Amino acid sequence: MRKPGKAPTMSDVARVTGVSSMTVSRAFKDDASVSKETRDRIRKAAEKLGYVIDSTASGLSSRRTGFVAVVIPSINNANFADTLRGLTEGLRSTNLQLLLGYTDYDVKEEERLVELFLRRRPEAVIVTGGYHTARCRKFLKNAGVPVAEMWDLPSKPIDHVVGFSNAAAAELMVHHFHDQGFRKIGFIGGDTSRDTRGKDRRAGFVAALEKLGLDTTRIIAWGTPPITMREGASAMRQMLEQWPDTEAVMCVSDLSAFGAMTECQRAGLSVPGDIAIGGFGSYDLSELAIPDITTIDVGARDIGRHVADWLRTVLTDSPGQAVDSVSIEPKLLARGSTLRSLQTSD
């Protein structure tokens, strides 16, 4: 820790280099008109002084903070991590910085975060999902900056959208089960009051079963989202107790699917011989597990990339030409956990 006095300012750098502070300011921007020698002199003096430009002050003055507020449900989730990766990569060429927050799947916490973040005057706000508290919606609408909702296709978008239909994705899995000859199909997910994307998946699951004329009662809701592997295992235990003749189970995520599958295996059931299991999210885990787990790839990284593309257009390149919202097409990855034809003899 540097003790003596306060941090050096631009005028300090200006003084030692014999220029005005405005020239120092210009020397720290890319497009400004400063001669190369002057710029190098200033930069060198700044580095020697330990000067670091103060974004707080420059943001106030220029009215450009360089912040993009991003709110995701969880920081420990391969899918959202992929989206963030796409975002980060797409914004690397800009000088925008992510102001990142996670809600733990709580819209009230989202509201709190959005308010906190808006105080920082971000140049754009990116939220996950299309469900928000009324107050949060108001904040986002009044923010005066571009807003993107991702990972969902809200019926009443606030502004820009990059997402997919969770219900349609769930339908993919149901149809796959049906194609494989399964008829007694269950669903494992968390408490739906929080995870709205999980709720949409479950709704899509039920709707698809109804269209096929199948039983829609085999549903276990267990645990607070994000539902863990352990909770997936507990849920499967309940499922087997309540409906022992279940032929296939769709899980709200790959993690719970893995937990459910290991629970079956511990109970002496063969997957998919005795019961088929599908997941959601295309985690590494679902590819490595034995058997590998059928899942749905939602193109998480693409979501981030699309959001970044839109951001660059709106914030820098050409603010005029609006980019349309993007609808991602989820893909089913059929694997061993639901394919009896692939099953190796044990």
> Which residues in this chain contact DNA in the complex, by CB under 7 A?
6-7, 9-11, 18-26, 28-29, 33-35, 37-38, 53-54, 57-58, 60-64
Contact flag: residue 203 with its own copies (CB under 8 A): no
Q: Tell me 302's DSSP state.
A: H
Q: Which does 10 bind (CB under 5 to 8 A by kind): DNA, its own copies, none?
A: DNA
Q: Which does 230 bind (CB under 5 to 8 A by kind): its own copies, DNA, none?
A: its own copies
Q: Which does 228 bind (CB under 5 to 8 A by kind): DNA, its own copies, none?
A: its own copies
The minimum distance between CB 168 and its own copies, in angstroms, equals 26
Contact flag: residue 60 with its own copies (CB under 8 A): yes
Quickly list H helices, 10-54. Answer: 10-17, 21-27, 36-49
Q: Whose CA is closest to 128, among 142, 144, 140, 143?
A: 140
Contact flag: residue 180 with its own copies (CB under 8 A): no
Q: Is the peptide bond before 226 cis (omega within 30 degrees of 0)?
A: yes
* Ramachandran area for residue 281 (φ above 0: left; ψ -120 to 50: alpha; else beta): left
The minimum distance between CB 33 and DNA, in angstroms, equals 4
Closer residue to DNA in complex, CB, 54/287: 54
Contact flag: residue 115 with its own copies (CB under 8 A): yes
Rounded-to-integer distance, Cα 208 and Cα 201, Å: 10
Please report, as residue ranges, which positions from 282 to 341 form the binding site for its own copies (by CB under 8 A): 284-285, 287-290
Asked if 151 and 196 count as a contact pair (C-beta separation under 8 A), the reply is: no
Binding mask 273-292 for its own copies (x = CB under 8 A): -----------xx-xxxx--
Closer residue to DNA in complex, CB, 139/310: 139
Phi, psi of 289 (to 5 degrees): -60, 160
3-state secondary structure of 293: coil
Closer residue to DNA in complex, CB, 11/193: 11
Binding mask 128-167 for its own copies (x = CB under 8 A): ----------xx-xxxxxxx-----------x--------
The minimum distance between CB 101 and DNA, in angstroms, equals 21
Asked if 96 and 314 count as a contact pair (C-beta separation under 8 A), the reply is: no
Contact flag: residue 265 with its own copies (CB under 8 A): yes
3-state secondary structure of 220: strand
Q: Residue 76, Cβ neighbours under 10 Å: how many?
A: 8
The minimum distance between CB 110 and DNA, in angstroms, equals 23
The minimum distance between CB 50 and its own copies, in angstroms, equals 4
Candidate residues 75, 267, 322, 342; the one interacting with its own copies per rule CB under 8 A:
75
Strands 276-278 and 219-221: unpaired
Number of residues that bind its own copies (CB under 8 A): 60
Closer residue to DNA in complex, CB, 35/193: 35
C-alpha distances out from residue 308 to 97, 125, 251, 301, Å: 12, 12, 30, 11
Residues 6+ apart with CB under 8 A from 148: 124, 125, 126, 127, 159, 160, 161, 162, 307, 310, 311
HEC string for 52-86: CCCHHHHHHHHCCCCEEEEEECCCCCHHHHHHHHH
Q: Which does 287 bind (CB under 5 to 8 A by kind): DNA, its own copies, none?
A: its own copies
Closer residue to DNA in complex, CB, 42/236: 42
Phi, psi of 179 (to 5 degrees): -60, -35
Q: Contact positions toward its own copies, by CB under 8 A?
A: 1-3, 6-7, 50, 52-57, 59-60, 65, 74-78, 81-82, 84, 97-101, 115-116, 118-121, 138-139, 141-147, 159, 228-230, 233, 255, 258-259, 262, 265-266, 284-285, 287-290
